[in-house]
Structure 1
């Protein structure tokens, strides 16, 4: 019987691609007096390319942007601080996020999250989505000192939820960090479809968050 459902954040609950696009559009407009010698299209395209869907931290992204576009009137450190302070105001949820969490809560399931990233930054984004209250456990890799797909972080989460691996599902968009990482400790791994990968070996595959409660119902 399934007693707990755990989630990744970026690309699973948070539509990171849409959030990044909104943020960088707004950053260009907000700081136009410093970066206006570059076209918005160039600035946005290069940021998204260097960001590599979140797998490159923004200190490196902004250092390269400053060098490549000869940005002189604002430092990469100031651009980074703007990112840290403003990103939370651009968080776009995937459709049916709140409805799905409400349904899980009403079924008396325990709900957890394991996300790689920086602690305060990720928590700011979770709060911006308005979902913190639904979670019994939230583990952020910076604060835990380990990150997915390390088995320890999955074990730690289910231990805090007081459930066993076979009583738990984990849903994420990354085939290795999320799906395989969970399966490696005996959890069921659910893949939230992402265009970047194909033929992912998951126990279940979903396109839409609204599909999850039915899967749990079938699993029992």
Structure 2
């Protein structure tokens, strides 16, 4: 990570920007930079990432889906498995099954906006079967298990995730997951990824009662860690939900842009990453 590309800090007694240039050339290591800034006792500003230092860095929070692992690819595999199950069980073409799933998903998100229940695959499967005129009692559980068993067996941490979490743990920087969706399935994902031992807390939108970008879900996670917003970084893939939400909550936002999307305009500073390996 080229910290010099976005850091420019000065104090009356020392030009930290020059020190950071030296540090980046010498180590290229984000955490070396953070602890170097701590040495000079510089206070951070949650509103301007150019002023962020490790002086008060106590926690790093993460989104889960499409941040710590590739949800999009796993989701496609799971949908295909569910459609194939439906085709064999009900003699409904897989394509029709998928179209009904998309319609059900859209309806629930419109009817249950910004609450965890809109992601519930039992509810989506139930609505999908109703749209198709098929039995919608008990069968949703079969579709639910087909979807999630496929997804959970296919996921693995993104490159750099385990190393990054291990380093944070070793350096006694607390970690948390702040995620939309229901708690049960998010815990199952964390277990499947094998990263539970590196995490201190998790807050889901089911627990918070709101979804990102609502600041409450971020603050609930910070409260569990006993950390103030300006003492934490947040890393996520959704610009609207993760970056804007984290900024509104007072955290330092890092945008994980693995698909190389154009950078949105914003009236605040944030750091763009293309891989979590950049933090190692």
The reply to whether residue 6 of structure 1 matches residue 86 of structure 2 is no
Task: Give the aligned partner of residue 203 of structure 1.
Answer: 270
| Deviation (angstroms), 1:180 | 1.2
Task: Give the aligned partner of residue 47 of structure 2.
Answer: none
Task: Give the aligned partner of residue 66 of structure 1.
Answer: 129
TM-score by length of 2: 0.63
Structure with larger RCO (C-alpha < 8 A, sep 6+):
1
Task: Give the aligned partner of residue 96 of structure 1.
Answer: 160
Cα 1:81–1:164 change in 2 (3 A) is same
Q: Deviations over 1:20-53 (max 9, x none)?
A: 12222333445552155414x554576468657x
Rounded Cα–Cα distance in structure 1 between residues aligned with 2:144 and 2:256: 31
| Deviation (angstroms), 1:5 | 0.6
Give the conservation status (yes or no) of the 8 Å contact 1:34–1:73.
Answer: no
Rounded Cα–Cα distance in structure 1 between residues aligned with 2:240 and 2:74: 23
Task: Give the aligned partner of residue 162 of structure 1.
Answer: 226
Matches within 5 A, 1:186-201: 186-193=250-257, 195=259, 198-200=262-264, 201=266
Give the conservation status (yes or no) of the 8 Å contact 2:100–2:131.
Answer: no
> Is there any run of 5+ residues in structure 1 with no aligned partner, and where?
214-220
Task: Give the aligned partner of residue 153 of structure 1.
Answer: 217
TM-score by length of 1: 0.78
Task: Give the aligned partner of residue 118 of structure 1.
Answer: 182
Rounded Cα–Cα distance in structure 2 between residues aligned with 1:46 and 1:100: 40
Task: Give the aligned partner of residue 7 of structure 2.
Answer: none
> Is there any run of 5+ residues in structure 2 with no aligned partner, and where?
1-53, 110-117
Task: Give the aligned partner of residue 199 of structure 2.
Answer: 135
Rounded Cα–Cα distance in structure 2 between residues aligned with 1:10 and 1:124: 12
Rounded Cα–Cα distance in structure 2 between residues aligned with 1:78 and 1:158: 34
Q: Which structure has the larger Rg over C-alpha atoms?
A: 2
Rounded Cα–Cα distance in structure 1 between residues aligned with 2:253 and 2:71: 21
Rounded Cα–Cα distance in structure 2 between residues aligned with 1:80 and 1:158: 35
Q: Give the SS at the match of 1:149.
A: coil
Give the conservation status (yes or no) of the 8 Å contact 1:59–1:76.
Answer: no
